[in-house]
Structure formats: C-alpha cells, structure tokens
Amino acid sequence: MSETIFPSTEWFQALARRMEQDEAAYRALGSIECTMVVRVETPERADLYELVFRGLKVRSVRRLGRLEDAAPGHFVLSASLATWREMIDNIRANAGPDLAHTLNYLTFPDDPMQVSGPDQLEVDAFYRYNQTLQRFFAGAADVPTAYAR
C-alpha cells in the first residue's frame, strides 16, 4: 500500500474509509454531529481541512483556503505539523495512541494542541464527541503516512 501525504484531503478520506469499515465500533459510541477543522501549522503557513461528521460517517472532507470558508458551527483543532506527526507516528507504532498522545491529553491547557471555535457550543462538540474523534484518528494506524515538508 502506498503512503498518503499528511496533511491532505486524501489522508483524511483514508481515515473516513476506515471509519466506514469499522461501523460497529462507531455505532457503539453513538452518532456524531459536528464539523471539525483541522489546522496544521508550519513556520511558512497553516493548512486547513474541514471534516463534516454526520451519523456514523464523514460526509465531506475539503481543504479550506481560509478559516472564514468553514461551515458555520465548527470547531478548530490546531497543532504544529511536528505535533500532528508525533501523534500519528505514535498511533502507527502502537496500533493506537499511548496516553500522552491522545486528543484529550494533547489538548490539556498549555499543551501542544488547541481547540477553539466561534463560541463555546462549537468547542463543546470536541469534548462531547472526543471518543469518536479519538477512534477516527486511531485509524491512522492502518494508513501508511508520509509528511508534507
């Protein structure tokens, strides 16, 4: 299987396919209704990807030119490319994240990943669906990944 570049719409779509293949596990967690914008920061730029979750699936993945292009009612999960890479590599090495590489741990105050949104209701969606989002990113264990420079 060839490597998929992170970040890219193809990489997030590969995770979405893993989600569809593991529907029973997601069903046990319950339906998810949120829009997440993933922000990957490098010194040169910030790449933005919008993922719309509805029911037990990712309904759409698209790259955004700017945050203002995101659908209303979204939250933003931001980190440096180095942080994303460390998390993904940890998931791949361990077939899932260790404690220090979970979304919950990485988003503690003063940690390398931040959650933000237009208002607290959107930010709350991250915490409400945290287990589902963690399972979604744990799908990276099965996605051969290379990193954008």
Q: Mean pLDDT across the chain, nearest whole number?
A: 96
Say if residue 1's pLDDT is above 80.
Answer: no
What single-letter DSSP state applies at residue 31? -
> 54: helix, coil or strand?
strand
CA distances from 85 to 27, 47, 147 (A): 28, 14, 8
Average pLDDT rounded to a whole number, residues 74-95: 97
pLDDT band at 110 (very low <50, low <70, confident <90, very high): confident
Q: Which domains does the chain have, with CATH numbers?
A: 4-142 (3.30.1050.10)
Report pTM: 0.95
Kindly state the greatest CA–CA separation across the chain.
Answer: 41
Amino acid letter for position 113: M
